[in-house]
């Protein structure tokens, strides 16, 4: 049976450090790299990031929208990016933020979490805001395939609070309810569950939330959105050892030079390690 995503991720975090670099080919970054805003530019950009980092960082997270923008040829580049990154040793989190009623969710799950799918990834970002239970087909298929999910719980953007901090009739916030579902999903899993939460590094003190879900916490917001590695212990408390900090533009802006990309990722990885060690 395939080893679980949680077990594979814990090992990768131990061996390579927990940093996740996003592959977000913004049109503005393509221009900064001297590339055309077309499929060839997209392919060159993605190949460069994979060549620079897939052998070094624990996780790469391609953002599907930037590939879908170019239609089927962009999606073909995404397929190759995922395959090459995984072949070079990185775990791939597909950032597609899918979420739908259960019957349709099953089809989204098959697109990314069925082992013989062209876009099969180690994990997928999903939205629970049609109700956590609507994600059940993705949870089931992830378990079968040894894949994982990252469920949007407390997102890094300032607008997220109106939904995620809303208080339910039972007095719990919506975000805390999502975290509670994930803790139940991961109960008893060792060394780490496969069902992670997305919790923004930008959110300040989260001591009101129980982040102890026995699963990974994907933490976007470092770099372009203003958070720094030094913020991680304050935001995540004791859960910081399960944090996978994501940086996209903060690393990518150093390209297209492969050495500069590697140096930027290494510097951030060192800052993250120092922050976690001091927590």
Catalytic residue IDs: 97
Q: Is 95 in the site for ligand OMP (CB under 6 A)?
A: yes
Tokens coding 168: 């339910």
What tokens does 220 get?
Answer: 């976007």
Angle, in degrees to the nearest 10, between helices 39-53 and 71-87: 10
Site for ligand OMP contains 165 (CB under 6 A): no
Which of 247, 234, 243, 246 has the alpha carbon at shortest distance from 279?
Answer: 234
- Which CB, 134 or 248, lies closer to ligand OMP? 248
DSSP-assigned states of every residue in 215-240: S-EEE--BSTTSB-GGGHHHHHGGGG
> Which helix or strand (DSSP H or E) is residue 199 part of?
strand 195-199
Q: Output DSSP code: residue 167.
A: B
How far apart (Å, rounded) are the C-alpha atoms in residues 143 and 156? 27
Q: Shortest gap between Cβ of 258 and ligand OMP (angstroms)?
A: 19
Q: Does 196 bind ligand OMP (CB under 6 A)?
A: no
Residue number with CB closer to ligand OMP (144 or 263):
263
Instruction: Establish if 155 lies at the interface with ligand OMP (CB under 6 A).
Output: yes
Distances (CA, A) of 264 to 19, 99, 220, 249: 12, 33, 16, 11
Asked if residue 81 binds ligand OMP (CB under 6 A), the reply is no
Cα distance from N-terminal residue to C-terminal residue, the chain? 36
| 3-state secondary structure string across 5-54 | HHHHHHHHHHHHCCCEEEECCCHHHHHHCCCCCCHHHHHHHHHHHHHHHC
User: What mask, x for binding ligand OMP by CB under 6 A, covers residues 40 to 79?
Assistant: -----------------------x----------------
Least distance to ligand OMP, CB of residue 22, Å: 5
Minimum Å gap between C-beta 165 and ligand OMP is 14
Nearer Cβ to ligand OMP (17/62): 62
User: Distance (Å, rounded) from C-alpha 21 to C-alpha 16?
Assistant: 12
Q: Cβ of residue 149: shortest distance to ligand OMP, in angstroms? A: 11
- The least distance separating ligand OMP from the CB of residue 59, rounded to whole angstroms, comes to 11
- Interaction between residue 125 and ligand OMP (CB under 6 A): yes
Give residues 213-272 in contact with ligand OMP (rule: CB under 6 A).
Answer: 220, 223-225, 246-250
Q: Does 4 engage in binding with ligand OMP (CB under 6 A)?
A: no
Indicate which single residue of 9, 10, 21, 24 sits in contact with ligand OMP (rule: CB under 6 A): 24
Residue for token pair 């791939």: 92
Confirm or reject binding of residue 198 to ligand OMP (CB under 6 A): yes
Residue of 25, 200, 216, 256 interacting with ligand OMP (CB under 6 A): 200
Contact residues for ligand OMP, defined by CB under 6 A = 22, 24, 63, 95, 125, 155-157, 198, 200, 220, 223-225, 246-250
């Amino acid at each position: 049976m395939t080893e679980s995503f949680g077990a594979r991720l814990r090992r990768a975090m131990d061996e390579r450090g927990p940093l996740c670099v996003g592959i977000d080919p913004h049109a503005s970054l393509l221009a900064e790299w001297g590339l055309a805003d077309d499929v060839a530019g997209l392919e060159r950009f993605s190949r460069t990031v994979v060549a620079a980092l897939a052998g070094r960082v624990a996780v790469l997270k391609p953002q599907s929208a930037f590939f879908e923008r170019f239609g089927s040829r962009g999606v073909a580049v995404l397929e190759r990016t995922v395959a090459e990154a995984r072949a070079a040793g990185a775990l791939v989190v597909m950032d597609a933020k899918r979420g739908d009623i259960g019957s349709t969710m099953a089809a989204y799950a098959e697109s990314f979490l069925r082992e013989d799918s062209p876009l099969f990834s180690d994990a997928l970002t999903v939205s629970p805001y049609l109700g956590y239970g609507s994600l059940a087909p993705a949870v089931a298929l992830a378990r079968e395939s040894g894949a994982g999910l990252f469920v949007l719980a407390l997102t890094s953007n300032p607008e997220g609070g109106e939904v995620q901090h809303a208080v339910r009739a039972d007095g719990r916030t919506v975000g805390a309810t999502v975290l509670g579902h994930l803790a139940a999903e991961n109960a008893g899993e060792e060394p780490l569950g496969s069902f992670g939460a997305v919790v923004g590094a930008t959110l300040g003190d989260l001591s009101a939330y129980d982040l102890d879900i026995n699963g990974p916490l994907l933490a976007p917001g470092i770099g372009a959105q203003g958070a720094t590695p030094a913020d991680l212990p304050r935001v995540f408390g004791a859960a910081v050892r399960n944090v996978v900090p994501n940086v996209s533009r903060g690393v990518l802006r150093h390209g297209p030079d492969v050495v500069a990309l590697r140096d930027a990722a290494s510097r951030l990885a060192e800052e993250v390690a120092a922050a976690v060690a001091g927590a």
